[in-house]
Amino acid sequence: MSTTVITGIGELATNDPARSDEGGLLGLVHDAAVVVEGSRVAWVGPAADAPAADVQVDAGGRAVIPGFVDSHSHLVFAGDRSAEFEARMTGQPYTAGGIRTTVARTRAATDEQLTSHVARLVAEMRAQGTTSVEIKSGYGLSVHDEARSLAVARQFTEDTTFLGAHVVPVEFQGGTTPEDYVDLVTGPMLAAAAPHARWIDVFCEEGAFDVDQARAILAAGSDSGLRGRLHANQLTYGGGVQLACELGLVAVDHCTFLSDLDVESLRDSRTIATLLPGVEFSTRQPYPDARRLLDAGVRVALASDCNPGSCFTSSMALCIALAVREMRMTPAEALHGATAMGAAALARDDVGVLAPGMVADLVLLDAPSYVHLAYRPGVPLVAGVWQAGRPVVPG
Ligand SMILES: [Zn+2]
């Protein structure tokens, strides 16, 4: 197996505090090297001690971080909602209803069109340092269209999420009731989706699905072998976060409107609060209070929520900059949230940390420190990406 040593790393963020003399969340090592063997990290430490390898890459004093783990995205869709964005920026509020516009476009697209669109977005993410991504369905909302959305997503990641319970589609409004749609989601749609999915998710929100419906959908998913996650407390206060904690879900996402009881429930659980600050940026809503969560001892991840309606960014660096500037996370907490905690939010123990045996997903920054991710917002700082040991963006 071929080995590569990346040496001359001015600052290496390992997310492994035991690896660092300096302590701290990120396990920083200065004047460091990483040896990659095949798809895995073989060695991490001071450059002066690095073993020889077949190929040597000189980082020239720049920083290396783990690849971003984006644990929340909606990449399978067709069309664009820039007109809705423009209207919102002109003063109209964001509601869950705009999702139905994308549903119509997605249903009309061919499998090939959906696949090439996801491929373009995944490449866009990779070029910005994202090496692991979760992809949800949720713009098909029929048995056929949810199953094929997940089959498309599966070509790009194992972390596919069935989100048939995104909104009640338009054909279920009027004559039938939302409960009829829940029956479809938990019955034939789940059966068709489950072979292509690892996770099940529900948009638990006013205008989408209530707590009782979410509970029933997550239970049905669990019976089909899917692990649960939840969109909750994005637009309003509600019972979604407490449901996620009660059920011991791996992650509950958004967490913008939280009562004291919600924060206590998160603190007393292992459930990760995944914050999606690109959404608040793109919908001009108040940001979640990350500081309140972190100070309470809640585990916090950051993700993009890349989707055509409420947040069409694929940039984890932007999410980090927003988390630092607008949500009072430290630069270290934000990077940790976008890497190690993103991995934890997907129950992945093979990515998000740079230590021997882990998947060799690394990003070389054109900067001396990871702090530049927040310090230089909007600047493309990714100078190289290795995904499973393979250079996918030339360093
Ligand atoms: Zn989402």
18: Cβ–Cβ under 8 A, 6 or more apart, which residues?
27
Q: Are 102 and 79 in contact (CB under 8 A)?
A: yes
Q: What distance in angstroms lies between residue 338's CA and the mean position of ligand 1's atoms?
A: 16
Tell me which residue has tokens 């600050």: 277
Q: Is the pLDDT of residue 101 over 90?
A: no
- pLDDT band for position 176 (cuts 50, 70, 90): low
Please tell me the distance between residue 56's alpha carbon and the centre of ligand 1 in angstroms: 40
Q: pLDDT-based confidence at 1, cuts 50/70/90?
A: confident
Give span(s): CATH 3.20.20.140, the chain. 69-345
H/E stretch holding 63: strand 63-66
Categorize the per-residue pLDDT at 93 as very low, low, confident or very high, splitting at 50, 70 and 90.
confident
CA of 72 to the centre of ligand 1 (A): 6
The alpha carbon of 320 and the centre of ligand 1 are apart by a number of angstroms equal to 17
Ligand 1 centroid from CA 55, angstroms: 41
pLDDT of residue 394: 82
Query: Percent of the chain, pLDDT > 90?
Result: 89
Q: Which residues pair with 307 in a beta bridge?
A: 311
Question: For residue 43, what are its two tokens?
Answer: 């060695």
Pick the CATH number of 3-66+353-393 from 3.40.50.720, 3.40.30.10, 3.30.930.10, 2.30.40.10: 2.30.40.10
Residue 207 pLDDT: 84
- How many angstroms is it from 301 CA to the middle of ligand 1? 14
d(CA 222, CA 321): 36
Distance 94 CA to ligand 1 centre (A): 14
CA of 7 to the centre of ligand 1 (A): 38
CATH (residue range 69-345): 3.20.20.140
392 contact partners, CB below 8 Å, separation of at least 6: 126, 385, 386
**pLDDT value of residue 88:** 87
Mean pLDDT of 242-251: 98
Ligand 1 center from residue 24 Cα (angstroms): 31
Q: Which residues surround ligand 1, an ion (CB under 5 A)?
A: 305
| Overall average pLDDT of the 218-227 stretch | 98
Tell me what pLDDT residue 20 has: 82
C-alpha 90 – ligand 1 centre gap (Å): 23
The answer, yes or no, to whether residue 94 has pLDDT greater than 80, is: no
The CA 174 to ligand 1 mean position distance, Å, reads: 26
Mean pLDDT, residues 88-105 taken together: 82
Please give the Cα distance from 374 to 390 (Å, whole number). 27
What does the block give as tokens for 328? 């009072």
Judged against a pLDDT cut of 70, whether residue 175 lies above it is answered with no
Average pLDDT over residues 288-307: 98
- CA nearest neighbour of 64 among 85, 33, 91, 35: 33
Q: Is the predicted pLDDT of residue 246 greater than 70, yes or no?
A: yes
Span 68-75, average pLDDT: 98
CA dist., res. 256 & res. 392, Å (int): 35
User: Alpha helices of 185-289 — where are they, by DSSP H?
Assistant: 190-193, 211-223, 240-247, 260-267, 277-283
The predicted pLDDT at position 103 comes to 95
Q: Give mean pLDDT, residues 299-319.
A: 97
- For residue 177, pLDDT beyond 80: no
Ligand 1 centroid to Cα of residue 307, in Å, is 7
pLDDT-derived band at 97 (thresholds 50, 70, 90) equals: low
pLDDT band at 23 (very low <50, low <70, confident <90, very high): confident
pLDDT, averaged across the chain: 95
| Confidence band of 29 (pLDDT split at 50, 70, 90) | very high
Mean per-residue pLDDT, 128-138: 98
**Is residue 202 pLDDT above 70, yes or no?**
yes
Nearest to 48 by CA among 27, 31, 60: 31
Distance 253 CA to ligand 1 centre (A): 8
Q: Report how far ligand 1's centroid is from the alpha carbon of 64 (Å).
A: 29
**Distance between Cα 305 and ligand 1 center (Å):** 5
- The predicted pLDDT at position 395 comes to 66
Calpha distance 214→216 (Å, rounded) = 5
Closest CA to 323 of 273, 382, 260: 273
For residue 395, with 0-12 CB atoms within 10 Å meaning exposed, 13-18 middle and 19 or more buried, which class applies? buried
CA separation for the pair 87, 82 (Å, rounded)? 9
Q: Contact 253/231 with Cβ under 8 angstroms?
A: yes
Q: Which residues contact 110 (CB under 8 A, 6 or more apart)?
A: none
CA distance 379 to 394: 18
CATH 2.30.40.10 residue ranges for the chain: 3-66+353-393
